[in-house]
Amino acid sequence: MSADAVEIAVVGGGVMGLATAWELTRRGHRPVVFERFARGHREGASHGATRNFNNAYDEEHYLDLLVRARDGWDALGRVDGEPLLRLHGLVTHGDLDVSSVEHRLHERGIHAEILSPSEASSRWPGMRFADPVLFSRDAGVARASAALRELERRIVDAGGEVRWETPVARIDETDAGVELVLADERIHAEVAVVTVGAWTERMLPGIRLPRLDVTEETPAHFRPVDGSAWPSFNHYVDPDRYPATVYGMPTPGEGVKVGFHRVGDVVDPDARPHLTTHADALADYVREWLPGLDPASAVPISCTYTSTDDSAFVLDRRGRIVVGAGFSGHGFKFAPGVGATLTDLALDPTELAAEPFRLP
């Protein structure tokens, strides 16, 4: 078995691994990313055209990370003639205290205003509202697939490397660093950043992790019935009526993406059934709350969530191994901030992420 050496290895080439590798190159390093699947694969949680750029948080650690992420998104600039964030706005309504979120966003200099249900309905006639609505024009969607391409381009242009279809079988920590065991070689690294999503527990059996549930989620794209504008949205619904909070966003060329948050079946990531769940409830929701969409037009999408019990991310370091995991279906928008945080941890063993993100 041959041997090779790199300074910093990133295991996992989804958005979190690529964002980390890009941040490492910005600080003068040349990381190597090892990804088991081919470029553009659909086995994890980073594929697809859009992700909700949702800023409706009132917890300080998420707002700190959101601000850091926004700096990163802005630094990535324009791709194919437009920014990677489409800031068409976000509406949040339903069973939550929108005034608390509005206050927190104002403290950060982020636009937020509360609209009456009638005001919101006038702006977005394709939606129905029954409660006060929080609107922020500083939100919208992240262009997910375009972001992955741009991150890889930046990494390679800066002297880093992304090795697709290169599975890592095992990660061994040694006195001298870390060894990655591949099919026909061993890679020595000073530090390894592990961002493998649904495979985290299998890749890191020696690290005490919180419980990570891997679920298969199946939101769907629905066809608009007219040319009305659409914001992104969060709707905290009646749990006796629908199974979970609803999120959504426009995806040009595909329709409006609508889904229940974290309701899928627990699955083995290596044997996903690709089974659509809660389709009838989702169509019922669209029929009741989104009159601007055709409820019979659903085109399901399959992705995975890897979730902690409290939905808090894991951003921490043990020895020479840095862990990024448990993004719980709401991580993509934070990716540049997560990458910067994991880079801090990789370069300085005394660094700590915010307390809610630390390992037990």
Residue that has been written with the tokens 């055209």 in this structure: 49
As a whole number, the mean pLDDT across the chain is: 97
- Residue 304 tokens read as 């995975």
| pTM greater than the 0.95 cutoff | yes
Task: Band the pLDDT of 37: cuts 50, 70, 90.
Answer: very high
SS3 90: strand
Q: What is the mean pLDDT of residues 314-341?
A: 98
Which domains can be identified in the chain, with CATH numbers? 1-84+140-210+310-360 (3.50.50.60)
Q: Is the pLDDT of residue 315 over 70?
A: yes
Nearest to 41 by CA among 9, 80, 14: 14
How many CB atoms lie under 10 A from the CB of residue 351? Answer: 15
CA distance 244 to 218: 13
- Helices 144-157 and 60-76, axial angle in degrees (round to 10): 70
φ/ψ bin of 109: left (φ > 0), alpha (ψ from -120 to 50), beta (otherwise): left
Q: Where are the alpha helices (DSSP H) in 186-334?
A: 200-203, 279-289
Q: Is the pLDDT of residue 333 over 60?
A: yes
Q: What is the mean pLDDT of residues 108-120?
A: 98
Q: What is the pLDDT of residue 330?
A: 97
- Residue 229 tokens read as 């504008």
Q: What is the mean pLDDT of residues 111-135?
A: 98
Bridge partners, residue 234, by sequence: 92, 247
SS3 185: strand
How many CB atoms lie under 10 A from the CB of residue 106? Answer: 12
Task: Band the pLDDT of 176: cuts 50, 70, 90.
Answer: confident
- As a whole number of Å, the end-to-end CA separation of the chain is 36
Q: What is the pLDDT of residue 1?
A: 46
Q: Is the pLDDT of residue 346 over 80?
A: yes
- Residue 173 tokens read as 């920590």
